[in-house]
Amino acid sequence: MRKCPVDDFTLKTETYEGVAIDVCPHCSGVWLDAGELESVQAAQASDFRDVPTSGAMDSVRAAEGMAQARSETPRNCVVCNSGLVQKEYAFASQIIIDQCPKGHGMWLDKDELARLEMFYEDQEDLDKILASMENEGKGLGGFFTRLWGNLRG
What residues line the site for Zn ion (CB under 5 A)?
4, 6-7, 9, 24, 26-27, 29, 77, 79-80, 82, 100, 102, 104
User: What's the min distance (Å) between Cβ of 101 and Zn ion?
Assistant: 7
Helix axes 123-135, 139-152, angle to 10 degrees: 100
Nearer to Zn ion, 62 or 106 (CB): 106
With contact defined as beta carbons under 8 Å apart, do 129 and 144 qualify?
no
Which residues does residue 20 pair with via DSSP β-bridges, in sequence order?
15
Count the Cβ atoms, other than its own, within 10 Å of residue 70.
9
Considering beta carbons, is residue 3 or 138 the nearer one to Zn ion?
3
Rounded to the nearest whole angstrom, what is the least distance from the CB of residue 56 to Zn ion in the complex? 32
Report the nearest approach of Zn ion to the CB of residue 77 (Å): 3
Query: Shortest gap between Cβ of 9 and Zn ion (angstroms)?
Result: 5
Instruction: Kindly tell me which of 23 and 95 has the beta carbon lying closer to Zn ion.
Output: 23
Rounded CA-CA distance 65/51 in Å is 21
Largest CA distance in the chain: 47
Closest to Zn ion by CB, 7 vs 72, is 7
DSSP reduced 3-state for 98: strand
